[in-house]
């Protein structure tokens, strides 16, 4: 039996190509959403809780860079969890696409490092409250560097395991897609993202040369070079920010 996540053969009907993209799109959004919620949202709140304990009492009641009050659970915390879930969905699609062109353990490591180092500078702000008043600063930098790295790693790990039964087991698929059910109707920006991603992916498979690039070494070479360039540039920015903070 053909896997529901196997690329349709060349010359397949347009409906088959779009169905293929749709299945992988939902899988990437589901796995990325869970990773974003667990690592970015819950993990981020745990990191802030630890830093609150290691910092002076003066930080309590201060508004963090993410907009919630340090030391309090509020609606802002719930909103933060939802936002990290949505961001995880978007990143999840990108990681699944990259992974399709970069198989093997080396490809997975490069993807995680590139995604993690690209995400960390978006969190670590030298002039932000989180990295001026919280202490110790090296611990804050370390934890918020590990969060995007962990999120990317968890996304790929879940994707590898869920792809085995994705769409074959409807009940498990529905439960796994829970982030989509809860978040997409709330954040309407997710809907255009889904539509555009589906259109781009489907049309790419309909263009002969693009389809060939996605199924041979050309795609692997291009994506690997791009991931390497991102890793180098993002690492420089991250090291510069951390050096300024500590």
Transcribe 110-130 into DSSP letters.
HHHHHHHHHHHHHH--TTSGG
Q: Which one of 13-17, 52-56, 231-235 scores highest in mean pLDDT?
A: 231-235
Q: What is the mean pLDDT of residues 225-238?
A: 97
DSSP state of 40: I
Confidence of residue 5 (pLDDT cuts 50, 70, 90): low
Q: What is the mean pLDDT of residues 190-200?
A: 87
Give φ, ψ of 214 to 5 degrees.
Answer: -75, -15
Higher pLDDT, 77 or 113: 113
Residue 8's closest CA among 226, 215, 241? 215
Please state, for a pLDDT cut of 70, what percent of the chain lies above it.
Answer: 95
| Measured distance CA(59)–CA(69) in Å, rounded | 9
The Cα angle at residue 191 between residues 190 and 196, in degrees rounded to 5:
100
Q: What is the mean pLDDT of residues 118-141?
A: 88
The Cα angle at residue 146 between residues 142 and 149, in degrees rounded to 5:
150
Confidence of residue 77 (pLDDT cuts 50, 70, 90): confident
Instruction: Give the bridge partners for 63, in sequence order.
Output: 69
Query: What would the two tokens of residue 239 be?
Result: 């090291």
The pLDDT mean for the chain works out to 87
Burial 75-91 (b: 16+ CB within 10 A, else e): eebeebbbbbbbbbbbb
Torsion region of 150: left, alpha or beta (phi above 0 gives left; psi -120 to 50 gives alpha): alpha
Q: pTM for this one?
A: 0.91
Please state, for a pLDDT cut of 90, what percent of the chain lies above it.
Answer: 53
Query: What would the two tokens of residue 20 be?
Result: 């293929």
Residue 34's closest CA among 137, 156, 145? 156
Transcribe 170-183 into DSSP letters.
HHHHHHHTHHHHHH
Higher pLDDT, 239 or 214: 239
**Residues 80-112 pLDDT 10s:** 888 999 999 999 999 999 998 998 999 999 999
């Amino acid at each position: 039996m053909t896997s529901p996540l196997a690329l349709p053969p060349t010359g397949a009907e347009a409906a088959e190509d779009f169905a293929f993209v749709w299945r992988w799109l939902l899988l990437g959004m589901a796995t990325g959403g869970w990773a974003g919620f667990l690592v970015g949202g819950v993990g981020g709140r745990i990191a802030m809780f630890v830093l609150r304990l290691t910092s002076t009492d003066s930080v309590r009641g201060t508004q963090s860079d993410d907009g919630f009050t340090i030391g309090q659970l509020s609606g802002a915390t719930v909103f933060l969890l939802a936002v990290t879930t949505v961001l995880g969905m978007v990143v999840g699609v990108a990681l699944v696409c990259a992974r399709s062109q970069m198989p093997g353990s080396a490809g997975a490591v490069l993807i995680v490092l590139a995604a993690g180092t690209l995400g960390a500078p978006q969190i670590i702000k030298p002039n932000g409250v989180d990295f001026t008043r919280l202490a110790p600063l090296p611990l804050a930098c370390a934890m918020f560097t590990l969060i995007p790295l962990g999120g990317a790693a968890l996304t790929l790990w879940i994707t590898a395991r869920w792809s085995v039964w994705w769409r074959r087991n409807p009940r498990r698929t529905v439960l796994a897609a829970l982030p989509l059910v809860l978040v997409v109707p709330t954040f309407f920006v997710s809907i255009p993202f889904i539509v555009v991603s589906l259109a781009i992916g489907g049309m790419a498979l309909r263009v002969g040369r693009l389809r060939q690039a996605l199924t041979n070494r050309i795609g692997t070479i291009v994506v690997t070079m791009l991931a390497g360039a991102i890793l180098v540039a993002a690492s420089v920015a991250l090291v510069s920010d951390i050096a300024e903070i500590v």
